[in-house]
Chain A
Amino acid sequence: MLELANLSKHFGGVRAVDSLNLKIEPGQIFGLIGPNGSGKSTTVNLITGLLDVTHGSITLAGEEITRLPTHVRLSSGIARTFQNIRLFGQLTVWQNLWVAENARAQRERTNFFSRWMGGDRGARARITRALEFSGLADKADELAANLAFGEQRRLELARALAAEPKLLLLDEPAAGMNPEEIGALDDRIRQIRDSGITVLLIEHHMELIMAIADRIAVLNFGQKIAEGTPAEVQAHPAVREAYLGTAG
């Protein structure tokens, strides 16, 4: 689904991401973990095009997207959430999803009126489904800024799903959540995968990622130090060293 080949991003002398190779198979939950400052968020920003790559290439479903502008990549089947929530606060919950669904309308080349006026029945059905999936159906007319923190996180997820992406990038979706909410998130992410969407999950919360990821890569100082199933990664000495300091 997504392939990063020799991907690098240098900020001056700092190698935030350094010759990273990753291959994410379709239908997987792929976990990307690493200590703070290991280059996880930079990787997401490279994939979405918010940052320009220094060298290397990014391929989505067989098509190279390394030089495409952000909005083209995001409307061609990638969707994302943000580590620090970025909603359209003065828009209603419904409008937040309405804006995002436009990406799908663009991909399908629907006519001008259903794209910009938004009277399309299919679009309404998709938005309603995404809201129900995220448990926000009764909040459709609230302003996004007035939602509680957990609801805002769910709204971001719903907004990403409204565009019906092929690949979903989740940047620390559990940050700031309580254990109960994390349990619900866990179920949701599995359901998303089971509906055929590939998930790239970036997370600090080890328990969550070990429980649901099909495959995990570990970053440290911008380089991949291990990759494998959760069990393999947990047993890997380099990973223990990165997380716990040098082992005796």
Chain B
Amino acid sequence: MDFYLGLLQIMGVHTLLGLSAYVVLQTGQVSLAQAGFMAIGAYVAAMLTVLAGWPLIAALVVASLVAGITACLVGFPALRVHGLMLVVATIAFTEIVRLFFFNFDYQISRGNLQVGPLGGEGFRQIRYFPENGWTTLHVAVFIWTVVALVMAALWWMDRSRAGAVLRAVGEDEIAAQSCGINLTAVKVSAMTAGGAIAGIAGGLYAHYTTHIEQSNFTILLATFAIAYPILGGLSSVFGTVAAVIFIQGFLVEGLRFLGDWRNLLFGALIVLVMNIRPSGLLDARTMASLRRLFGRKEG
């Protein structure tokens, strides 16, 4: 049972990470900075609960704010470049954050124990959940409550004019400008929202694993972040969840019996899915027929 609850926790955090990239991808920007924002969220939240003794929710809110503000500041210069240059710039950002935490020591004495981040050793003893008597089930429910709230907010945004404006920018920047849309403002807002969501993902991640280190937040994690919404389709937040279940549940866990062959098949299956469903697991047409199924009119 604990195995499945643990899997649920991983899926929840990865869904949030995927959603953080989803917002940015809607404006047509490919950002590999999401792992960096997640790292910032993880360290900030863990330091607040462990070193400052804050309650978890307050720590998550501040972690989200710090990651969001960082994303906003990074967004201004980064979004001046396009396409591949933006990919390179955001990879650089994720690496900078990772190397910062590689060299970041801030430990205090707690009884006979030293706690806090210790460079390459990482940040151990993030024991908020066990200390406060949360079971694995509590944690899984809490994580998915947060996921549901973020999904509801994004689902609502998709239906609002703000959502249409984000997609318009992603479709055609010149036409969007010519409709009076401030491209910089829209892109930086999307980046900020994405950063804030990645910050929450990081905060949750730090607390359920109880141990974080810089090597958790690599470019590989950033590629996962953009792979989820791309594989799932950009027409709905549910696509991202579907992709996380497919990758984390089916590919990573379900194929474990294959041993070393798993990694080989993993890549092949993603390529296969992208070929069968080029616009994502849940594309606009699937969403339209689902809506018809539930008898709701679009718009």
Least CB distance, A168 to chain B, in whole angstroms = 12
Query: B179 to A118, Cβ gap below 8 A?
Result: no
- Roughly how many angstroms separate A89 CA and B175 CA in the complex, as a whole number? 11
- A163 neighbours in B (Cβ, 8 Å): 179-180
Asked whether A143 and B178 contact (CB < 8 A) given A88-B171, A98-B161, A117-B160, the answer is: no
Query: A50 to B177, Cβ gap below 8 A?
Result: yes
Query: A141 to B164, Cβ gap below 8 A?
Result: no
Least CB distance, A70 to chain B, in whole angstroms = 5
- Roughly how many angstroms separate A243 CA and B137 CA in the complex, as a whole number? 79
B298 an interface residue at 8 Å Cβ cutoff? yes
- Roughly how many angstroms separate A130 CA and B299 CA in the complex, as a whole number? 18
Least CB distance, B177 to chain A, in whole angstroms = 5
A159 an interface residue at 8 Å Cβ cutoff? yes
Least CB distance, B223 to chain A, in whole angstroms = 24
Which residues of A95-140 are within 8 A (CB) of B? 95-96, 98-100, 102-103, 106, 115-118, 140
Q: Number of contacting residues on A, CB 8 A? A: 36
Query: B172 to A88, Cβ gap below 8 A?
Result: yes
B148 an interface residue at 8 Å Cβ cutoff? no
A87 an interface residue at 8 Å Cβ cutoff? yes
Query: B180 to A71, Cβ gap below 8 A?
Result: yes
Least CB distance, B145 to chain A, in whole angstroms = 24
Asked whether A88 and B298 contact (CB < 8 A) given A48-B178, A116-B160, A143-B284, the answer is: no
Interface range for B: 20 to 34
Which residues of A72-87 are within 8 A (CB) of B? 72, 74-75, 79-80, 82, 86-87
Q: Could you say which of A70, A94, A118 contacts B178, with CB atoms under 8 Å apart? A: A70
Asked whether A75 and B171 contact (CB < 8 A) given A92-B299, A102-B161, A118-B160, the answer is: no
Q: Could you say which of B162, B172, B299 contacts A116, with CB atoms under 8 Å apart? A: B162
Tally inter-chain residue pairs, CB-CB below 8 A.
90
- The chain A residue sitting closest to B177, CB to CB, is A70
- One digit per residue, 1 when the CB lies within 8 angstroms of any chain A CB and 0 when it does not, for chain B 225-266 equals 000000000010000000000000000000000000000000
- B175 neighbours in A (Cβ, 8 Å): 82, 86-88
- The chain B residue sitting closest to A71, CB to CB, is B182
- One digit per residue, 1 when the CB lies within 8 angstroms of any chain A CB and 0 when it does not, for chain B 133-172 equals 0000000000000000000000000001110110110011
Query: A99 to B179, Cβ gap below 8 A?
Result: yes
Asked whether A80 and B178 contact (CB < 8 A) given A88-B168, A92-B299, A140-B299, the answer is: yes
B5 an interface residue at 8 Å Cβ cutoff? no
A210 an interface residue at 8 Å Cβ cutoff? no
- Roughly how many angstroms separate A85 CA and B208 CA in the complex, as a whole number? 51
Interface centre among B165, B174, B176 (most CB of A within 10 A): B165
- B176 neighbours in A (Cβ, 8 Å): 88, 99
A91 an interface residue at 8 Å Cβ cutoff? yes
- One digit per residue, 1 when the CB lies within 8 angstroms of any chain A CB and 0 when it does not, for chain B 11-25 equals 000000000000000
Least CB distance, A233 to chain B, in whole angstroms = 29
Query: B161 to A71, Cβ gap below 8 A?
Result: no
Query: B172 to A91, Cβ gap below 8 A?
Result: no
Given contacts A74-B179, A89-B171, A102-B181, 16 further A-B contacts (CB under 8 A): A71-B177, A74-B177, A75-B180, A86-B178, A88-B171, A91-B171, A92-B299, A95-B167, A98-B164, A102-B161, A102-B165, A117-B160, A117-B162, A118-B160, A118-B164, A143-B284
**Interface residues of B, Cβ cutoff 8 Å to A:** 160-162, 164-165, 167-168, 171-172, 174-183, 235, 284, 297-299
23 contacts between A and B (CB under 8 A): A50-B178, A74-B177, A74-B180, A82-B175, A86-B178, A87-B172, A88-B175, A90-B167, A91-B171, A92-B299, A95-B167, A99-B161, A99-B164, A99-B176, A100-B179, A102-B161, A102-B165, A102-B181, A106-B180, A116-B160, A140-B299, A141-B298, A163-B180
**Interface residues of A, Cβ cutoff 8 Å to B:** 48, 50, 69-72, 74-75, 79-80, 82, 86-92, 94-96, 98-100, 102-103, 106, 115-118, 140-141, 143, 159, 163
